[in-house]
Structure 1
Amino acid sequence: MFDAVIVGAGFAGIGAAIQLKRLGIENFVILDREDDLGGTWYVNHYPGLAVDVPTTTYSYFFEPNPNWSRLFSTGTEIKQYADDVADKYDVRRHIRLSTVVEGARWDEETSQWQVSLADGEVLSTRYLITATGFLSQPKIPDIPGIDSFAGRIIHTTDWQDDYDPAGKRIAVIGTGATAVQLIPELAKKAADLTVYQRTPIWVVPKIDLRFGPLAKKLFARVPATQRVLRWFTDSVYEVMVSIGVVHYKTCRGRGNISAADLSKLHRFITIRDKELRRRLTPDYDFGCKRPTFSNSYYRAFTRDNVHLQDVGIDHVQTDGIVGKDGAKNEIDTLVLATGFDLWEANFPAIEVIGRDGRNLGKWWRETRFQAYQGVSMPYFPNYLSLASPYAFLGLNFFNTMEYQMRLMERLFGEVKRRGATTFEVTEEANTRYLDRMTELLGDSLFTLGNCASARSYYYNPAGEPTLLRPTTTETAIREASEFPLSDYAIN
């Protein structure tokens, strides 16, 4: 029997493991279906992969990295950071890789979780923590005839490193954050590249500074300098989210309009073709769908070998794609930059059965998506879900992990102090929190803005924007450190 089982060895799972160790809990295991740690930063390795949040901000606050090569670091560097942190905090020895978790069930007689693995093994644990991330289940488009395509199909989450785009006729489906990074790289070598766009994306210029040897040396010798830079980048992003999303009503969308104007100016400077600019311009408010940074995305469409198709796809044939206008585009490679299935396949990522047989996924869909402090649900004792409704703080995942680690410290610390064996959030506390989140969202961009055409993963299937926690990072961290312990039944 384990004291804790963590599902997922990405940054959330690593952070949870570090916090358990700080609390004196060493008898735990981390389970991950992949053959290495790092989560999305191990799975994704397509050309052009980089973080779209400054790496001074995209890192654990307690573990600054003086070795970043630039402000927006590459995926390779982010993966190395995950390796380094796991090694420094002795997390790797707790990880079981290539292990698929099928589900977990609360055993009321033993007050333990029974975690079922795909190979038939069942693990017993006191605590269950799912750290499966928000972007972990790839979305495969349901396009007629796609299975008949005779060429190569590559999903960006399963990039084939031996693939050489040189001289190829390529079609890319999707224009999200991943496509914005990938398309310019493919455009450099492809004989012909057609981008199939359903929803345009807001793109603003990227100010990507390089950190030379002197900067790295300064960061290493005087860590306070890097913390000051982090404070600055954190503050910029916090202001962006606060003005543009959380307090949209108060600010009357002025921040969103300014950001959209910057993106429009970026397109105008880069693309001289007025009609092409129009087709690349979103018709929803800035921020309804995750925007991104790039200095090369718009420029890629000015190349002779790159074409934008936005009339829609009718079906796929063995040698190409037929658009809804009847035109056929012959290709030899189909790249799916179609993102992730957040709500249907990821909430939750595994089947979780709590007290009295409550099925978490079914309960969420039959009632509403909800989670107290973004981690706890009633009828699910000794369980924390780190990828839940109202968990994600704006643009930076590590701020989310920061407050969740604080909550773990307070909650598990109280359980230990009382000599208790179980904790469970009360229905009253959960309802009170849900009502508060709903009220706060009433003043947000997602409720008051023009978001109908964004097709944003921020919204669940019922049309509620329940992915993001509509508070500041400071508020989330304070609440995680000070929430009323009476909000949990601790026995």
Structure 2
Amino acid sequence: MRGDCAGSRVRVAVVGAGFGGIGLGAVLSGSDTAEVTILDKADGVGGVWRANTYPGAACDVPSHLYSFSFAPGREWTRRFAPQPDILRYLERVAAEHRLEPRLGTEVTEAHWDEGRGAWRLDLSDGDSIEADVLVPACGQLSRPAAPRIPGLETFGGPVFHSAEWDHDVDLTGKRVAVVGTGASAIQFVPAIVERVAALTVFQRSAPWLIPKPDRPYGRLARALQRLVPAGRLPARGFWALFFETGALGFTRFPLLTPPFRWAHGAMLRRQVPDAALRAKLQPDYPVGCKRVGISSDWFPALARPHVDVVTDAIAAVTPTGVRTADRTEHPADVIVLGTGFATSDFLAPMKVFGPGGAELSDRWREGARAHLGIAVPGFPNLFLLYGPNTNVGSGSIVHMLESQIAYVRQAIAAIAGGAGPLSVRPEVESRFDTEMQDRLGRSVWTGCQSWYRTETGRIVNNWPGLMREYRRRTARFDAEEYERP
């Protein structure tokens, strides 16, 4: 049976060439135990940082924390890296580790072959490959979510999602309707407000905001990034402490959250003179329940005289604009959808079939779950990156991914040593999930509906603790928690 890999290199198939896939590939490059194939449907590496090219796209975590500890960034032109910097960083890491992903190739299905003890991956080009270990690194923010608005298809002008920005559409002098006020809109609205004739922002709920202490890096600072990589460690430590404090406030100690409210309120009063608009921009849910935005130019953009913030529900889209529930029609030439992503369908549209043809999406019908967010009972040699309950409401997902990568590397080494195939024990996963849901039930994230939760209210995305705790719990791969199928 091919699945007994003792004394041979383990064939590892990684689905996705974003931070997770490139990070794992870099760690395993040159390994004498693993042969890695990275597959991605895009035509280049970068994942969401290749796909999201909307104006103003940038990270809302400082760049020194939003990078691997084993690959210090030297591309950063600002404290909060813009999208081109992050893409260049990932491209460099891939090149330096001689990673050559198979691009333009989507994995449509993965089947566990019990006879061979291996995964068969069916590809969009009709080909198939075999691997001993399957590592989906698809991310939680890779599939744009299009809203179901009556009449959207009848609109006479361009319509596009922020994650699929149409750069052929010139917004200069246009009336632009923006649907949504999430993290992407908070970035692209200020970036386009100067060149549009009119901007109508349709807001379902106001986001909580804190100021963005961004600044450009001068020539000296950038030279130091290249020459003294360790110089970033103090900044990395400071920002880790900042975000961990926020995580404590959202999960265990609500008394730590008032500074977020004060920062939002102070910025709102200072930047928005109009009392009626200030009222619209004051959230009506607990701070942290939805993702906290970080921006110093969102409020000034909305306070511009040619910008209108509409809080009435959208009833329909017409050929010439957007009609709200109060029967007002808001004319528009272009509609931009800032409506986020399908975050709870973790591996879709890829289908994964385990032993006996069991489909993973059926297993997750009540909400995705996995031990440490990585391993699922009944699916041997399957290890997820950025899986269920590994997102951070306050922190760096790259830090979390680095923890997962270290864990998966140990699992692969165990399989190469003859321990596999390996499937996490059901009782281990069940115990972990019970703990997660119990802790999440006491967090701020139960106070509203957000992308962190399914329609039934189960929180499937977020980690209920600190990044430091997750690093500790994934530091050692425990083979006793796994069984051979």
| TM-score normalised by length of structure 1 | 0.93
Q: What amino acid is aligned across from residue 379 of structure 1 in structure 2? A: G
1:256–1:285 contact (8 Å) kept in structure 2: no
**Is 1:196 aligned to 2:202, yes or no?**
yes
Structure 1: give runs of 5+ residues left out of the alignment. Answer: none
Q: Residue 310 of structure 1 corresponds to which residue in structure 2?
A: 311
After superposition, the Cα gap between the structure-2 partners of 1:72 and 1:472, relative to the gap in structure 1 and judged at 3 Å, is same
Task: Write the mapping of 1:16-415 to structure 2, written as runs, cut at 5 A.
Answer: 16-21=24-29, 23-25=31-33, 27-91=35-99, 93=100, 95-242=101-248, 244-247=249-252, 251=253, 253-343=254-344, 345-366=345-366, 368-394=367-393, 395-415=395-415
Give the Cα separation in 2 of the matches to 1:311 and 1:90.
Answer: 52
Question: Following TM superposition, by how much is the alpha carbon of 1:420 offset from its aligned partner in structure 2, in angstroms?
Answer: 3.3
Secondary structure, counterpart of 1:475 in structure 2:
helix
Q: Percent of aligned positions with the same letter in both sequences? A: 33
1:356–1:379 contact (8 Å) kept in structure 2: no
Question: Following TM superposition, by how much is the alpha carbon of 1:357 offset from its aligned partner in structure 2, in angstroms?
Answer: 2.1
Q: What amino acid is aligned across from residue 112 of structure 2 in structure 1? A: W
Give the Cα separation in 2 of the matches to 1:310 and 1:152.
Answer: 23
Give the Cα separation in 2 of the matches to 1:132 and 1:236.
Answer: 28
Give the Cα separation in 2 of the matches to 1:20 and 1:226.
Answer: 25
Superposed CA deviations along residues 389-442 of structure 1, whole A, max 9, x for unmatched, are 12224431111111101211322222233x234111011111111122123223
1:7–1:131 contact (8 Å) kept in structure 2: yes
Give the Cα separation in 2 of the matches to 1:398 and 1:348.
Answer: 22
1:404–1:480 contact (8 Å) kept in structure 2: yes
2:33–2:413 contact (8 Å) kept in structure 1: no
Q: Residue 426 of structure 1 corresponds to which residue in structure 2?
A: 425
Q: What amino acid is aligned across from residue 403 of structure 2 in structure 1? A: Y
1:347–1:388 contact (8 Å) kept in structure 2: no
Q: What amino acid is aligned across from residue 463 of structure 1 in structure 2? A: G
| Count of residues paired in the alignment | 476
Question: Following TM superposition, by how much is the alpha carbon of 1:263 offset from its aligned partner in structure 2, in angstroms?
Answer: 0.3
Question: Following TM superposition, by how much is the alpha carbon of 1:334 offset from its aligned partner in structure 2, in angstroms?
Answer: 0.7
Q: What amino acid is aligned across from residue 48 of structure 2 in structure 1? A: T
1:458–1:466 contact (8 Å) kept in structure 2: yes
Q: What amino acid is aligned across from residue 311 of structure 2 in structure 1? A: D
Which of 468, 473, 476 is 2:470 aligned to?
Answer: 476
Question: Following TM superposition, by how much is the alpha carbon of 1:291 offset from its aligned partner in structure 2, in angstroms?
Answer: 1.0
CA RMSD of aligned residues (A): 1.7
Secondary structure, counterpart of 1:27 in structure 2:
strand
1:372–1:430 contact (8 Å) kept in structure 2: yes
Question: Following TM superposition, by how much is the alpha carbon of 1:379 offset from its aligned partner in structure 2, in angstroms?
Answer: 0.5
2:208–2:264 contact (8 Å) kept in structure 1: yes
Question: Following TM superposition, by how much is the alpha carbon of 1:332 offset from its aligned partner in structure 2, in angstroms?
Answer: 1.0
2:373–2:389 contact (8 Å) kept in structure 1: yes
Superposed CA deviations along residues 54-95 of structure 1, whole A, max 9, x for unmatched, are 00100011111134111111101111111111111111x2x1
Superposed CA deviations along residues 213-238 of structure 1, whole A, max 9, x for unmatched, are 22222333332221121111112111
Question: Following TM superposition, by how much is the alpha carbon of 1:301 offset from its aligned partner in structure 2, in angstroms?
Answer: 1.6
Secondary structure, counterpart of 1:361 in structure 2:
helix
**Is 1:457 aligned to 2:447, yes or no?**
no
Question: Following TM superposition, by how much is the alpha carbon of 1:477 offset from its aligned partner in structure 2, in angstroms?
Answer: 1.5
Q: What amino acid is aligned across from residue 48 of structure 1 in structure 2? A: G
Give the Cα separation in 1 of the matches to 2:221 and 2:397.
Answer: 25
**Is 1:467 aligned to 2:466, yes or no?**
no
1:389–1:468 contact (8 Å) kept in structure 2: yes
Give the Cα separation in 2 of the matches to 1:106 and 1:83.
Answer: 32
Give the Cα separation in 1 of the matches to 2:408 and 2:389.
Answer: 17
Give the Cα separation in 2 of the matches to 1:337 and 1:456.
Answer: 15
Question: Following TM superposition, by how much is the alpha carbon of 1:356 offset from its aligned partner in structure 2, in angstroms?
Answer: 2.5
After alignment, is 112-121 or 277-286 more displaced?
112-121
Structure 2: give runs of 5+ residues left out of the alignment. Answer: 3-9
After alignment, is 283-292 or 24-33 more displaced?
24-33
Question: Following TM superposition, by how much is the alpha carbon of 1:23 offset from its aligned partner in structure 2, in angstroms?
Answer: 4.0
Q: What amino acid is aligned across from residue 320 of structure 1 in structure 2? A: G
Question: Following TM superposition, by how much is the alpha carbon of 1:206 offset from its aligned partner in structure 2, in angstroms?
Answer: 0.8
Q: What amino acid is aligned across from residue 332 of structure 1 in structure 2? A: D
Question: Following TM superposition, by how much is the alpha carbon of 1:22 offset from its aligned partner in structure 2, in angstroms?
Answer: 5.6
Give the Cα separation in 2 of the matches to 1:245 and 1:22.
Answer: 41
Give the Cα separation in 1 of the matches to 2:30 and 2:143.
Answer: 31
Question: Following TM superposition, by how much is the alpha carbon of 1:483 offset from its aligned partner in structure 2, in angstroms?
Answer: 4.7
After superposition, the Cα gap between the structure-2 partners of 1:227 and 1:22, relative to the gap in structure 1 and judged at 3 Å, is farther
Secondary structure, counterpart of 1:64 in structure 2:
coil
